[in-house]
Amino acid sequence: MLKIALISGTYSLSSRVNGLIEWIQTELESDAHLTIIHVHQLSAEALITAKVNDPTVATANRLIDESDGVIVVTPTFKASFSGILKTYLDLLPKHALEGKTVLPLAVGGSPAHLLMLKYALGPVLSELGAHSFIKDVYLLDTQIQHVAPHHFSLDTDARERLTRAIKALQRTVRQAKIAQTL
């Protein structure tokens, strides 16, 4: 079974970003072991003071290390990814994403910020060793609707683009695992 780690850079479990995460959980449940790291649930003191040896940070880093692929999900703020996500990414070891397939995803209020994935988040992920990227997906927050507290619905376009990205992630991770055994 594939091991996928998902890093959530949102500040709240009621965020529309969690609608995206909820959908990913359902999509992957039969084919992969998905571990979700909600950065806002890690020790705030450890994040702010860069305590890499804090148990919450160390556990999150271990989950990334043990994964075959990584999904990074963030809201868009001021044409960039969330500060809490950057704070956590700064605590990952230098080559933490080396050899891993990475899928960057973002939710924003305007299509004007979609290049944030390529020009803001992409370079940081590359600096952490990521070289195998699945084409990123940027969704508008209007494509994710609250249907009940902590439950969401994605529109057809969002589901189709995410399905393609998740299938590409699964395919690429499987191919990488096969290549490692040869």
Q: Tens digit of pLDDT for each residue in 100-157? A: 999 999 999 999 898 999 999 999 999 999 988 999 999 999 999 988 877 889 999 9
The pLDDT value recorded for residue 21 is 93
Contacts of 85 (CB under 8 A, 6+ apart): 7, 9, 39, 72, 74
Domains held by the chain: number: 1
For residue 111, what are the domain limits?
2-181
Tell me the average pLDDT across 17-24. 92
* Closest residue by Cα to residue 161 from 117, 96, 130: 117
DSSP sequence for 10-68:
-S-TTSTHHHHHHHHHHHHTTTEEEEEEEGGGS-HHHHHHT-TTSHHHHHHHHHHHH-S
CA distances from 121 to 20, 102, 103, 117, 171 (A): 18, 12, 11, 5, 23
Q: Do the beta carbons of residue 36 and residue 67 sit within 8 Å?
A: no
Dist CA 72 CA 9 (whole Å): 8
Q: Do the beta carbons of residue 140 and residue 172 sit within 8 Å?
A: no
Q: Tens digit of pLDDT for each residue in 57-104? A: 999 999 999 999 999 999 998 889 999 999 999 999 999 999 999 999
Q: What is the CATH number of the domain that holds 173?
A: 3.40.50.360
Higher pLDDT, 54 or 19: 54
Tell me the average pLDDT across 162-176. 94
How many of the other CB atoms lie within 10 Å of CB of 13? 14
The pLDDT value recorded for residue 178 is 85
This prediction has a pTM of 0.95
CA distances from 162 to 14, 37, 40, 119, 154 (A): 20, 19, 24, 21, 10
The pLDDT value recorded for residue 181 is 78
